């Protein structure tokens, strides 16, 4: 589950999930919602794989959502389905979606970057929580 909050000229995303894998998948969904207003109009026509190395959950989050943002910036890909598996050396992810179509997709915000401001990932009694901010 994710929630978007306003932060000066930026937008923040708070995520909570029972597992780290689910937390990172929900973080990508939250980023997609900020970019495209949600995933309802995105069809899972194409599957892409992602590999992010690292062991620190904070930097895995930053690098992972940075990869999802880069896929939109460079290839105009919007995703709606995410499966993330964190292993001992990083994460492997599958994302399903389609290229941006201005006839069918409404862009909500131009996300310029994922920032380090308020970047946090930590365990809770119920699982995991994360916060990250995007520059719009």
Dihedral, 83, 87, 92, 96 alpha carbons, nearest 10: 0
Instruction: Output the pLDDT for position 69.
Output: 97
Instruction: Output the pLDDT for position 99.
Output: 95
Instruction: Output the pLDDT for position 125.
Output: 96
SS3 47: strand
Instruction: Output the pLDDT for position 118.
Output: 87
Instruction: Output the pLDDT for position 5.
Output: 65
Q: Which domains does the chain have, with CATH numbers?
A: 2-135 (3.55.10.10)
Q: How far apart are the first and last CA of the chain?
A: 22
DSSP state of 76: -
Instruction: Output the pLDDT for position 6.
Output: 66
Question: Which letter, b or e, does each residue of 16-44 get, where b requires 16 or more Cβ atoms within 10 Å of its Cβ?
Answer: bbeebbbbbbbbbbbbbbbbbeebeebee
Instruction: Output the pLDDT for position 9.
Output: 67
Q: Average pLDDT across each block of 10 residues of the chain; the chain has 136 residues. List them in order.
A: 68 95 97 82 95 97 97 96 97 97 88 89 96 92
Instruction: Output the pLDDT for position 38.
Output: 65
Instruction: Output the pLDDT for position 7.
Output: 59
Tokens of 119: 């970047």
Instruction: Output the pLDDT for position 136.
Output: 86
Instruction: Output the pLDDT for position 79.
Output: 95
Tokens of 63: 């690098």
Q: Please, are residues 27 and 68 in contact by the beta-carbon 8 Å criterion?
A: no
């Amino acid at each position: 589950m994710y929630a978007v909050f306003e932060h000066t000229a930026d937008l923040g995303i708070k995520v909570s999930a029972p597992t780290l894998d689910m937390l990172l998948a929900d973080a990508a969904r939250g980023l997609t919602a900020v970019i495209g207003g949600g995933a309802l109009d995105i069809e899972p026509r194409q599957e892409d794989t992602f590999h992010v190395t690292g062991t620190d959950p904070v930097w895995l989050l930053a690098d992972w959502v940075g990869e999802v943002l880069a896929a939109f910036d460079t290839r105009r890909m919007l995703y709606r389905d995410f499966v993330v598996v964190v292993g001992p050396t990083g994460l492997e992810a599958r994302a399903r979606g389609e290229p941006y179509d201005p006839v069918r997709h409404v862009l909500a915000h131009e996300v310029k970057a994922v920032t380090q401001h308020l970047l946090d990932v930590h365990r809770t009694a119920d699982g995991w929580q994360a916060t990250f901010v995007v520059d719009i």
